[in-house]
Amino acid sequence: MNTIKTMTFMVGLTLVLVWAGAALGGRSGMTMALMFALVMNIFSYWFSDKIVLKMYRAKEVSENDAPELYSIVRRLSQKAELPMPKVYIMEQDQPNAFATGRNPEHAAVAVTTGIMNILSREELEGVIGHELAHVKHRDILISTIAATIAGAISYLAQMAQWAMIFGGSRHDDDEGGSPIAAIVMMIVGPIAAMLIQMAISRSREYLADEGGSRIAGNPRHLAGALKKLHMASQRIPLEANPATSHMFIVSPLSGGGIIKLFSTHPPIEERIARLEAMAR
């Protein structure tokens, strides 16, 4: 069911992009919007993993550097029938983790030093299983495409704003979009893109929880890890870019109110309840 939801949301996000391009420049604007998204997707496909790892100063480690972590990743990768991903450690106090890479053959799993200090081996296995499920489901590619399309929509909205300021809009439906449609797109487009992107991310988190529990062997271990990670993330800050917050196993952005409302992660209570239901 979550897979069907994801595909539906991806189609919806693409349609919002096409509509935004059409509102800004008619048929030619729609074509340019699709080409722009294609170029951004190609760049993201090849380089997004390297950019994110450098952003958080993650360092690749060998089995000699982190024997327990490395052995967990290797054992669970074999169990999941995945190639051994590269293993990275981030010098961050907040306990967290993420996976990246364009496909299972070019994947990486990164954890913070904080997560290795507060989790038991079984709980860490639950977290690694979750990240390997993301790799197995190719969620990184899906989330990258979703983020790229959403970014393209926001960029088009900014273009529309400048076009309205300098009077650059046209009225011919074949050559330029309607000014009214452009105004609506400036307001509604970015909001719709953000909401759809959030829905995609939340659906993939539920799938990764389920798949990761099967890889690690016990849903209760991941549930226990999520409890600890959520509590710690509220107390220990992590200077995370909001554009990459969806990659982490729990949201690295602390706070409630508007931040919680627009979180890319499902409510932690719901995730834990589903895992405990699986265990029963």
**What is the per-residue pLDDT across 205-235, written as a single tens digit (0 to 9) for each?**
999 999 999 999 999 999 999 999 999 998 9
Q: Reply yes or no on whether 131 is catalytic.
A: yes
Both structure tokens of 280: 């029963």
Least confident stretch, 2-6, 25-29, 37-41: 2-6
Q: Are 242 and 251 in contact, with CB atoms under 8 Å apart? A: no
Exactly one of 123, 131, 205, 210 is catalytic; which is it? 131
The torsion region of residue 119 among left (phi > 0), alpha (psi -120 to 50) and beta comes to beta
pLDDT at 128 over 60: yes
- If pLDDT is split at 50, 70 and 90, which confidence band does 95 have? very high
Question: How far apart are the C-alpha atoms of 69 and 124, rounded to whole Å?
Answer: 8
pLDDT at 174 over 50: no
279 or 203, greater pLDDT: 279
What Å distances lie between residue 147 and 64, 134, 193, CA to CA? Answer: 36, 16, 9
Long-range contacts of 32-35 (CB under 8 A, 24+ apart): 33/152, 33/156
What pLDDT, on the 0 to 100 scale, is given for residue 171? Answer: 46
Question: How far apart are the C-alpha atoms of 12 and 201, rounded to whole Å?
Answer: 14
pTM of the full structure: 0.77
Share above pLDDT 90 across residues of the chain, in percent, rounded to a whole number: 44
Say which residue the tokens 């226990």 belong to: 224
